[in-house]
Every structure is written in structure tokens, then in C-alpha cells.
Amino acid sequence: MTMNPIHEISIGESATLRRTVSESDVYLFAGISGDMHPNHVNREYAEGRFGGRVVHGALLPGYISACAVNLLDERLEPVGYAAQIFSVKCLAPVMIGDTVQCTVTVDAVDVDRRKIFFAAEVRNQRGELCATGEKVVKVLRPRPDSKEPSP
């Protein structure tokens, strides 16, 4: 077992996730979050305003999280980590049916505070920048005499 796996993470490392956002994704997110605004779920309303239904901006941090998991998960087990900060700035709408490409890049590693900082961007299938953001994760410490992580 690696006692301090944060040393294995390097600035500049990145991971990318591509996903086509389906109508089902939007409706499931609307149901889970309770955000049933007509921009997302009413075809006629959204067509008149945006040319189609807009994906919830709050869904994008989930894609950012999935990218970070792809980059970190096996490397930080069994110690583990916990997300501390998500920040997303939506710059252009993501529409139902768009294929998004989310990329996270390790921006900084603070070994003393056990934190990894990521810069993130989300682009659509045309390469348009739809969102930028950041994510911060805290690497957990192993509990003494245990294989279970602690905060």
C-alpha cells in the first residue's frame, strides 16, 4: 500500500470524458434535482427561446467529477479522497443531443494540505467552449491500525 499516494499525481496530468447528453439524462436530472424549469423539460417553450431544450448547467459538475474519478480513482485507493469544491461557469448552452467533451487537468498539488486542484473545461461537438471550472479534492489519511480512510 502506498502511504502517501498524492506524490504520484503530477501537475499537467489530464483526463477527458465524452458523452452525448440524452433527453433521458435531462429528465432524470430534473427529477432528482427538482429543477423542472421549462428551459429543460418543455419542448415548445424552449424552442421559442433557445431553439431547443437546454441541459441543466448543474449537470456539468457531474461530468467534471467523472473525469477526476477516471484520473484518480485507482491511484488513490485504498486511501481515497473526497471532493471539497466545485465551481462551474457556464459560457454557452449545452443542448439535448449535444456531445460534450469534458477535460480536467491537474493545476496544482498541495502535499501538505493533501489537496489536488483541477482546472476543467466542457466543449460541445463543434469545439465551442460551453463551461469552465475548477474542482478541489482532499486525499484522505489512512486511520491508524485500519485500512479504512479518515477525513
| Domain presence at residue 39 | yes
Checking if the pLDDT of 149 tops 60, the result is no
What is the share, in percent, of the chain residues with pLDDT greater than 70? 91
Q: Let me know if residue 148 belongs to a domain.
A: no
Would you put residue 111 in left (φ > 0), alpha (ψ -120 to 50) or beta?
alpha
In-domain check, residue 44? yes
Q: Is residue 94 part of a domain?
A: yes
> What's the structural domain count of the chain?
1
Look up the pTM and report it.
0.86
Domain assignment present for residue 31? The answer is yes
State the average pLDDT over residues 92-121: 97
Cell of 6: 498524492
Which CATH number does the domain housing residue 76 bear?
3.10.129.10
Q: What is the pLDDT of residues 35-55, one digit of tens each?
A: 999 999 999 999 999 999 999
Mean per-residue pLDDT for 82-101? 96
Average the pLDDT over 62-68 and give the result. Answer: 95
Distance CA 118, CA 108 (A): 7
Q: For residue 28, give its domain range.
A: 5-141
Among residues 75, 54, 70, the alpha carbon closest in space to that of 103 is found at 70
Is pLDDT at 71 greater than 50 in this prediction? yes
pLDDT of residue 2: 44
Residue 3, pLDDT > 90, answer: no
- Whole-number pLDDT of residue 114: 94
For Cα atoms 130, 131, 135, give the angle at the middle one, nearest 5 degrees.
Answer: 155
Task: Flag whether 81 is in a domain.
Answer: yes
To the nearest 10°, report the CA torsion of 27, 30, 35, 38: 0
Q: Residue 50 falls within a domain, yes or no? A: yes
Within a domain: residue 103? yes
